[in-house]
Structure 1
Amino acid sequence: MSLALLSVLGVALDALLGEPKRWHPLVAFGRLADRLERRFNRSRVADSAEKLPLPNPLPEGRGDIRAVPHSEFSGEHSAGLPLQANSLALQGEGWGEGVSASTITPKSDTPGLGWRSHGVTAWIIAVIPLTLIALLLSLLPYVGWVVQVLALYAALGLRSLGEHADPVVLALRSGDLNEARLRVGYVVSRETAELDETAVARAATESVLENGGDAVYAALFWFAVAGAPGVVLYRLSNTLDAMWGYRNARFERFGWAAAKIDDVLNYIPARLVALTYALLGHTRLALRCWRTQAPKWDSPNAGPVMAAGAGALGVSLGGSARYHGELHERPQLGEGPAPTAVDIWRALALVRQGVLLWLLIILILGVL
């Protein structure tokens, strides 16, 4: 059975079932990653160094934020863990393009904890054996087809994207600003307690556009390229970036490899996503915003995705946002009015239409 058809089946399974409510494999992987970090990062802590608390890979109240980590305050992006664990990754103080979905450890003067080589070793131990297992299982007759579909299903978060964005829209449309703030707080890392309706809509729209790239398109891309081992490699790498990709004293060295590898794996998918958004929206405006605004964004991958997405929708994103008590002035992305509740749904529709376009292209390429 071709990868093209298996791609369709994986997306269909995600649309039908959504993310598993229990026993998600990425939850178990998150626990493994936490143990590895304890072993390889803390083993090099100087006796005099302060013992910082470990980040919780499965934060309560964060829903299913998928992830994926990156440059500081670049957006609200997905992190590699499932929605129960962390499916729409949160953006904060990461190295590359996304950040950890768990609470961000404040910057401190504590000496660097761990060496880059330890982070590389931990990454290899966490990712490579599971990727090889996925490869071997995918080669089995008949069973391999099931493994391929399940691997893609476990990595996707398309339905979860809507399940987290829809409550924000409904709360805004009903005039319940407090509920809207609460709901959007599940999918962004900025402070939401004092956001007005426009700021809530802006945060949710940014999250949908960026998480669409990480939790949906990038997984689909790597599955189309390399099947189950490809999507497993990507999703596990993305998860480690979410957990280790902090730019602070504790993770700056240890998490460097995880963040950089995730940046590399997302480089091509991010630009294909930006092109997809442009083709399905206000094309000329999206391309212009991509060209002129994306380079100003902190993240090399989130910038093109969010700039093109904002241009495609004809709205203005970016601007000021408060993270961990500090107000940050971010560059403007897109052109046009500030987003409203309806624009959150428009962003979701853009992501979903793009997935259909990708599946069509994958099927056509599969026939050739």
Structure 2
Amino acid sequence: MADPFLSIQHVEKSFGATKVVHDFNLDVEAGEFVSFLGPSGCGKTTVLRMVAGFEEPSAGHILVGGKDITRLRPNQRNIGMVFQAYALFPNLTVAQNIGFGLRVAGASRADIDKRVAEMLALISLPQMADRYPYQLSGGQQQRIALARALAPKPKLLLLDEPLSALDAKVRVSLREEIRSIQKELGITTIFVTHDQEEALSISDRIAVMYGGKAEQVGAPFEIYNRPATRFVANFVGTLNVLEGTVTDASAGTVRVASQDVALKGKLDGSRTGDTLSLALRPEAIALGARPGHDSKLAGEIADVHFLGSVIRVRVGVGGKQISLDTFNNSSTPPPVVGDKTEISFSSGDVLVLH
């Protein structure tokens, strides 16, 4: 198996007596798009800045292409970085901003002009070359920042929450554009975000971070459907959490709100009488019976929100509200608050949180 393109090995970072990154390890393959996902203060930007060279690790090593770059200055790493705040030079035109890194590197005027034209075409803004940053929208400014980072043909692209200052519709459009450009160029990319939808929609893999550690690293499908820790389960996606009491560990039977639920397989490490936290995604739950659903709970409609194509329903089960989404059907009226109902789900979709 080939060596990873980027290897972050046992990296730690302390500011004074405070350790903000704990034994962080990650291998990234060439051409891969990996997102660091987590809440503010979890260490994701600090790890990114250590890869870029703006922070020096307190321990550990960072390798790119098999070369140890841990102690190299940022300008010695051939890494492109896009910041949250654009960081464009206000007194330079778009073309001058994009070509800045090439001028610093001593490229010829002809080479700079050619590369700037290529970058403007790549981000679909060829007509903006002579404008200044203040004449551009936020989305256009971020496209220019991306083009500037890519112009020197870096080995690695780092994006530090580049979309967080933009409105929702522009964010969706630009994240898809960033992913498209990344695939076209085949450049290895690390993308930092606190937005789970953003990370799930564009990443090859996601490193979910909390407290300076990687709680779980995996493909979006794995992260969402098979969270490894309670934090990942709660942070990524919407989750219903129910408390249950083990009634038969060998059979995997748990009592929830005075009703027995059979889980998939035996409950290793649990004993009769133990309390477990059980989690269910809203989309895994149906109102009424459904083929393949082998578990059910009786309850009462507590709340109904009509959202157009989707109807969001909350069902009260033993004092706890369980959320689920059902598609709008013009021939079927939505459920009525107060009605008795039954929800069903597959035992295989129940997560036991540890």
TM-score, scaled to structure 1: 0.25
Higher RCO (C-alpha under 8 Å, 6+ residues apart): 1
Q: Larger % of strand: which? A: 2
Relative to the length of structure 2, the TM-score reads 0.26
Higher helix share: 1
